[in-house]
Amino acid sequence: MKKILTYGKFVGLVALIVFLFAFTGNRNESRKIKEVEIEFVEEQNPYINELTVNKLLIQNQVGVTDVGKEILVLNNVEKGLDAHKMIEDSDVYLTVNGQLKARIKQRTPIARVNAVVPFYVDITGNTMPLSDNYSAHVPLVSNVSEREVSEIFPLLRKIQQDEFLKKHVVGVYRNQSGDYELALRVYAFKVIFGKVEQLDSKVKNFKAFYQKALKDQSLDKYKKVSLQFRNQVVCTIK
């Protein structure tokens, strides 16, 4: 009889634990999302703001704060955010107290193309629209169409990665022969870069020329500096 009583208590305890877990789970699932928190990861300029992200979180004209947690599909929310042309990646998740959190990584523009409808080229070589919130301080590219972005992208990426070029180059122009010219921040002479090839060699030659001319105080004497020829820097004096 004692064993039966002990067994009965054990079964009752297990049943109580199962009931409490089920009750807590159902209560948690039926809880409404009361708060949305948006976090922008990394230190980036504000090309997209919290208001825009909140609008993207709205599904079928119903705010996510009104949606029960059991019917909110987080993967779909992330897909909606990632589809925005200013967003590179997003991570959306729920906390145990019903708070929806969205971590946003924006795309990084490295050049602005001066077209009929201007656009940015981002760090991955894709195009992105201009932002209403912030204007990126990046080189201005002229006479280049969207279909030619893949051709010029290695040069733009080189400018973005190289501290010397990033400091001095403010513009890139594609001339009628298909060669690229660089405009500098301080000096008026044009840098004829040529085709997008042998990037490391051309940049190395230009740096060597620049340092020597800077030392000789002759940078203001030049009208044009060409890097088109292998292992040479050909200068035209004013």
- Name the phi and psi angles at 166, rounded to 5: -60, -35
Write the CB contacts of 29 (distance below 8 Å, at least 6 apart in sequence). 68, 69, 70
Q: Which residues pair with 174 in a beta bridge?
A: 180
Q: Which of 25-39, 144-158, 186-200 has the lowest mean pLDDT?
A: 25-39
Domains and CATH numbers, the chain: 31-106 (3.10.20.310), 109-237 (3.40.50.11690)
Q: Is residue 126 within a helix (H) or strand (E), and if so which, with residue range? A: none
Give the Cα separation of 64 and 94 in Å (integer). Answer: 11
User: Average pLDDT for residues 90-105, to the nearest whole number?
Assistant: 83
User: Average pLDDT for residues 146-171, to the nearest whole number?
Assistant: 96
Give the Cα separation of 123 and 87 in Å (integer). Answer: 12
Q: Is residue 13 within a helix (H) or strand (E), and if so which, with residue range? A: helix 2-30
- What pLDDT digit, counting tens, does each position of 186-213 carry? 988 999 999 999 999 999 999 999 999 9
Sign of CA dihedral 15, 17, 23, 25: negative
Closest CA to 69 of 25, 26, 29, 21: 29
List the structure tokens of 159.
Answer: 């400018």
Q: pTM for the whole thing? A: 0.77
Average pLDDT over the chain, rounded to an integer: 82
Give the Cα separation of 67 and 63 in Å (integer). Answer: 7
List the structure tokens of 216.
Answer: 């000789």
CB 170 within 8 A of CB 183: yes
List the structure tokens of 71.
Answer: 């019917």
Share of the chain above pLDDT 90, in %: 53
Q: Is residue 132 within a helix (H) or strand (E), and if so which, with residue range? A: none
Write the CB contacts of 149 (distance below 8 Å, at least 6 apart in sequence). 113, 121, 125, 127
Confidence class for position 32, pLDDT limits 50, 70, 90: low
Confidence class for position 168, pLDDT limits 50, 70, 90: very high
Q: Which residues pair with 37 in a beta bridge?
A: 101
Write down the pLDDT at residue 67.
59
- What pLDDT digit, counting tens, does each position of 50-85 carry? 888 887 876 533 455 555 555 567 788 888 888 888
Write down the pLDDT at residue 102.
86
Q: Is residue 23 within a helix (H) or strand (E), and if so which, with residue range? A: helix 2-30
